[in-house]
Chain A
Amino acid sequence: MSALLAIIGPALHVLATQLPPQAPQGRNIVGAQVAIGSLFSLHILIAGLVSGAGELGPAIEFLGYMRQRRTYDRLAHGLGRFITLYFSVSSTIAILLITVLLVGFWGHFWTTIVTIGFWPLLIEAWTFVLQVSLAYLWYYTWEPLRSFKGVHMAIGGLLAIASFLQVYMIDVIASYMLTPTNPQNPIRLALNPTSYPLTVHRTIGNLAYIGFAFGGFCAIRYLRAKTAEDKRFYDWAGSFGLLWGVSMTLLQPVVGYSYAKEIQLHAYGSWYKMMFGTLSPVFLWQITLLGIMFLTATIYFARRLRTDGARGAGLLRAMSVGMVLTTLLAAQPYHLGLTYDAVAAAGLNRPFWEGGLINPLGSMIPWKVLALMFYTLIAIAAVVWYLRGLPGVVWGTARRGEQRILVLMAVLTMAMIVTMGFIRENGRGPFLISGEMTIQGQQNVQTAQPTPAPQSSP
């Protein structure tokens, strides 16, 4: 989260044992939630990119070395530049989050989570320091170490490891808040029921996100490019970004489904809220959005191949039709009301042809599972067919339409990330830490503590 945390972390840990059990509470809970929610969204939108770039950049550099392609090197260098520029933005927000909002509004929560997650947070903070040092080192030694590519790629490898570790450590905390385990045992804590699914889901997600993001960025640069060389580069990089993003995203349905299963087994309330409760419309939107993302990508593949008359464009268009049908299946709502309980309370939990408000085609099992499977299979087929067609593509000839699709894709991805963050953070409600600490009281449910006497308003 921040370098600051590395320094104040131990101090906070000491403080946590000294502080009174009730931290001063913010009075405007809703306002605090809105503030923290929007800041967290902004933070994750930038931090996800930085983290993804820290992992993908070195990988692209390695690929470029193996293939001896200068464009890969240029792209990796660009990602390095992005990290050096945006690291500070991300960390500024993170510091703001911790020092002002978390400590200020959610003091009791913060002291508790620092006590529970002392080691993960400490490692996280120091990997952050490591990451920022390595990122600058990696970027600024690019030219000096040109003749020592092996050394430079080793620095990149360390950067990727640091980036991954950082995400893993913060995911330990985040997953613990949903599915708490015995916090005394650091291994139980690090391997709590949702920590694997969340870490895999987020790591792959960050990797996909940076691909879509630089795809969109390169599309804009392509449209403004003056020289033929730049046009070639940005056309290729945009395609590469999208291809990479889709390749990563198509792994996500399996991981996400498994994640949901773990939530069902270990945090049933949250799962119910997501599937049948107030969050079910958001969840439905999320699964639909995933289909729209795959569809958009397939259309880009088909169009990009057709522009240069490369083989495979026709089949890719057929795949995009399949993707439309799958998305339509995935978008079926199960209960035609806000929540299932509302429908059931009205006595309308019958299929709609019997006058009820239930649409059996929208059930998770088996229809949404089938839709997720088809997403994955069609996306794999699309990626493979696009790769088969690529030798026939001449870079630098793309039309505006394709570049617009790339920009759209980046926007859709951001919408996806915000949606997922919204579901994740609201799924726990009314708890901050599932079953242990509520948002309102910020106090442990299991070990009952006296509620603080209401203060007279100033």
Chain B
Amino acid sequence: MVRRLGAAYNWFDERTAIRSLLRKGLYEAVPVRGAWFYTLGSATLVLILLQLITGIFLTLLYVPSVTEAWASLNYLKAHDAFGSIVRGIHLWSAYILLFVIGLHMVRTFFSGSYKRPRELNWVTGVGLFLLVLVMAITGAFLPWDQAAYWTAVVVTNVPSYTPVIGPFLRALWRGGDFVGPITLSRSFGIHVWLIPAILFPLIGAHLALLRKHGEFGSYINYRGAYRSREGVDVPPAPVQRPIEPPYPAVPTDELWAAPLETEDFYPHQTFKDGVISAALVVLVFILAVAIGAPLEAIADPSTTSYTPVPEWFFLPLDELLVLVPQQLIPLVLVLPAGGVLLLLALPFIDRGPERNPFERPAVMVPGAFAVLFVVILTLLGSGRLFNL
């Protein structure tokens, strides 16, 4: 039996080269130290796959129409306990996905993994982050309850403050002057087809690049890490810092070529990845069962009692909408757009060979500012909403 299976495998390998592909994928040498931090990427992947699977099954029931969308989900809520769990998993894994992507990005930023030759890993990663954000935004429109409708109104209205072409952009997204049936159809198409059709190939590229250059890890995996351990903070001459003899005076790219201590991706790293991912999936499941996905009353544009509350990941942007005065509203577009451009440009701005986050304050400090501003805006926004 085993021999037959082996023969079948050989037959298959002869036609597909599956063996060498698996070997490349599974027996990659990855850094040992700090490997629990390097599980965030695979956790992101698992959560995105969770989105894909639950999303596909939700389309078996959901109807993207202003008269039917809410009714179909209301039916799900009232008559289908398991379907409600599927929808709950879709929602909660999206929330946790956004959070984990954020952590993954912060980790990568902190460890300087985006540096040569991994610039494009970072750029594709930023692209994936943006696509996931678009997924989150369009997904939030679909239930067509009050929360969804007003989120759609506010979010599609933000681009209207673009100079010159603003109203055109808004109408393009809405498919008209106001949010209506075409808005829902477009958002649905973007959510289930357009973005996934770009997202999944880009994930492939991201992973292919990861395998091409290998997992970087962080500075603790390299010889250069110990450079400053005995360091004295008084430089003998300007520019050059004192470096202990075995290490080069100026850290070079070569120093960061290969990690000191590695082990096989499978099963050592996959074990850690599996533990973290499984824990997250369990968390998602618990939240999906215990809290589930809420569905408010059906969308009503004539309401004068409903208070729209943004999704939590919109809070910083929503707080900006509150703070930016009337003459300066385009800032609400300029600031996030500038942030995205800076993110994309990061590996081309910060090109020095130094990877130790504590030794490159000129990059870490502005990064910390960016994170702090987002956190502060979120805090202030949640405080404001709590007291409405």
Q: A interface vs B, CB < 8 Å?
A: 63, 66-71, 181, 191-193, 195-197, 200, 232, 236, 247, 250-251, 254-255, 257-258, 261-262, 266, 308-310, 365-366, 369-370, 380, 383-384, 387-388, 390-396
Which chain B residues border A181 with CB–CB below 8 Å? 387
Q: Are A261 and B322 in contact (CB under 8 A)?
A: yes
Seed contacts A258-B323, A261-B322; 10 additional CB < 8 Å A-B pairs:
A68-B231, A181-B387, A191-B386, A200-B380, A251-B376, A266-B387, A365-B327, A387-B361, A391-B241, A392-B238
Q: Are A258 and B319 in contact (CB under 8 A)?
A: yes
- Quick one: which of B284-333 are within 8 Å of A by CB? 319, 322-328
Q: Which residue of A lies closest to B335 (CB)?
A: A373
Q: Are B383 and A387 in contact (CB under 8 A)?
A: no
A181 to B327, CA, bound (A): 33
Which chain A residues border B382 with CB–CB below 8 Å? 196
Q: Are A193 and B238 in contact (CB under 8 A)?
A: no
Q: Could you say which of A232, A255, A388, A390 contacts B376, with CB atoms under 8 Å apart? A: A255
Q: Could you say which of A71, A200, A251 contacts B369, with CB atoms under 8 Å apart? A: A251
Q: Could you say which of A68, A193, A236, A310 contacts B387, with CB atoms under 8 Å apart? A: A193
For residue B362, CB closer than 8 A to chain A, the reply is yes
Q: Are B365 and A383 in contact (CB under 8 A)?
A: yes
For residue B245, CB closer than 8 A to chain A, the reply is no
A interface footprint on B207-233 (CB within 8 Å = 1, 0 otherwise): 000000000000000000000111111
For residue B178, CB closer than 8 A to chain A, the reply is no
Contact status of A67 and B359, CB under 8 A, knowing A266-B387, A370-B328: yes
Contact status of A251 and B383, CB under 8 A, knowing A68-B230, A261-B323, A391-B241: no
Q: Are B387 and A251 in contact (CB under 8 A)?
A: no
Q: Are A395 and B234 in contact (CB under 8 A)?
A: yes
For residue B81, CB closer than 8 A to chain A, the reply is no
Mostly, the B contact residues are: helix
Contact status of A200 and B379, CB under 8 A, knowing A192-B387, A247-B365: yes
A339 to B230, CA, bound (A): 61
Which chain B residues border A255 with CB–CB below 8 Å? 376, 380
Q: Are A200 and B376 in contact (CB under 8 A)?
A: yes
Q: Are A380 and B228 in contact (CB under 8 A)?
A: no
Q: Which residue of A lies closest to B375 (CB)?
A: A200
A305 to B129, CA, bound (A): 39
Can you name 24 A-B residue pairings with CB atoms under 8 Å?
Answer: A67-B359, A70-B233, A195-B383, A196-B380, A196-B384, A197-B380, A250-B369, A251-B376, A254-B377, A255-B380, A258-B319, A261-B322, A261-B323, A310-B238, A365-B326, A366-B325, A370-B328, A383-B365, A387-B361, A391-B238, A392-B238, A392-B239, A394-B238, A396-B234
Q: Could you say which of A67, A200, A266, A391 contacts B358, with CB atoms under 8 Å apart? A: A67
Q: Which residue of A lies closest to B226 (CB)?
A: A68
In the assembled complex, the CB of B123 is this many whole angstroms from the nearest CB of chain A, namely 22
A251 to B375, CA, bound (A): 11
For residue B366, CB closer than 8 A to chain A, the reply is yes
A384 to B229, CA, bound (A): 25
Number of interface residues of B (CB under 8 A): 38
Most B Cβ at <10 Å: residue of A195, A196, A380: A196
Which chain B residues border A258 with CB–CB below 8 Å? 319, 322-323, 380, 384
Q: Which residue of A lies closest to B386 (CB)?
A: A191
A69 to B232, CA, bound (A): 7
Q: Which residue of A lies closest to B387 (CB)?
A: A193
For residue B373, CB closer than 8 A to chain A, the reply is yes
In the assembled complex, the CB of A231 is this many whole angstroms from the nearest CB of chain B, namely 11
Contact status of A387 and B323, CB under 8 A, knowing A191-B387, A232-B234, A254-B376: no
Which chain A residues border B279 with CB–CB below 8 Å? none
Q: Are B383 and A191 in contact (CB under 8 A)?
A: yes
A418 to B4, CA, bound (A): 85
A383 to B361, CA, bound (A): 10
A196 to B326, CA, bound (A): 25
In the assembled complex, the CB of A171 is this many whole angstroms from the nearest CB of chain B, namely 12
Q: Which residue of B lies closest to A255 (CB)?
A: B376
In the assembled complex, the CB of B60 is this many whole angstroms from the nearest CB of chain A, namely 41
In the assembled complex, the CB of B157 is this many whole angstroms from the nearest CB of chain A, namely 21
For residue B372, CB closer than 8 A to chain A, the reply is yes
In the assembled complex, the CB of A265 is this many whole angstroms from the nearest CB of chain B, namely 8
Q: Are B373 and A63 in contact (CB under 8 A)?
A: no
Q: Which residue of B lies closest to A229 (CB)?
A: B234
For residue B235, CB closer than 8 A to chain A, the reply is yes
Q: Could you say which of A66, A197, A383, A388 contacts B383, with CB atoms under 8 Å apart? A: A197
In the assembled complex, the CB of A197 is this many whole angstroms from the nearest CB of chain B, namely 6
Q: Are A380 and B366 in contact (CB under 8 A)?
A: yes
Top 9 A-B pairs ranked by shortest CB distance? A196-B383, A387-B362, A365-B325, A193-B387, A366-B327, A388-B362, A258-B380, A392-B238, A69-B233
Q: Are B373 and A251 in contact (CB under 8 A)?
A: yes
In the assembled complex, the CB of A26 is this many whole angstroms from the nearest CB of chain B, namely 34
Which chain B residues border A66 with CB–CB below 8 Å? 358
Q: Are A369 and B373 in contact (CB under 8 A)?
A: no
Which chain A residues border B383 with CB–CB below 8 Å? 191, 193, 195-197, 262
Contact status of A236 and B233, CB under 8 A, knowing A258-B323, A310-B238, A394-B238: yes
Q: Are A384 and B323 in contact (CB under 8 A)?
A: no
Which chain A residues border B232 with CB–CB below 8 Å? 70
Q: Which residue of B lies closest to A383 (CB)?
A: B365
In the assembled complex, the CB of B318 is this many whole angstroms from the nearest CB of chain A, namely 12
Which chain A residues border B328 with CB–CB below 8 Å? 366, 369-370
A70 to B231, CA, bound (A): 9
Q: Are A68 and B228 in contact (CB under 8 A)?
A: yes
In the assembled complex, the CB of B357 is this many whole angstroms from the nearest CB of chain A, namely 9
Which chain A residues border B239 with CB–CB below 8 Å? 391-392
Q: Which residue of B lies closest to A392 (CB)?
A: B238
Q: Are B238 and A308 in contact (CB under 8 A)?
A: yes
Most A Cβ at <10 Å: residue of B372, B379, B383: B383
Q: Are B323 and A257 in contact (CB under 8 A)?
A: yes
Q: Which residue of B lies closest to A381 (CB)?
A: B366
A63 to B358, CA, bound (A): 8
In the assembled complex, the CB of B244 is this many whole angstroms from the nearest CB of chain A, namely 11
A383 to B367, CA, bound (A): 12
A68 to B366, CA, bound (A): 23
Q: Which residue of B lies closest to A248 (CB)?
A: B372
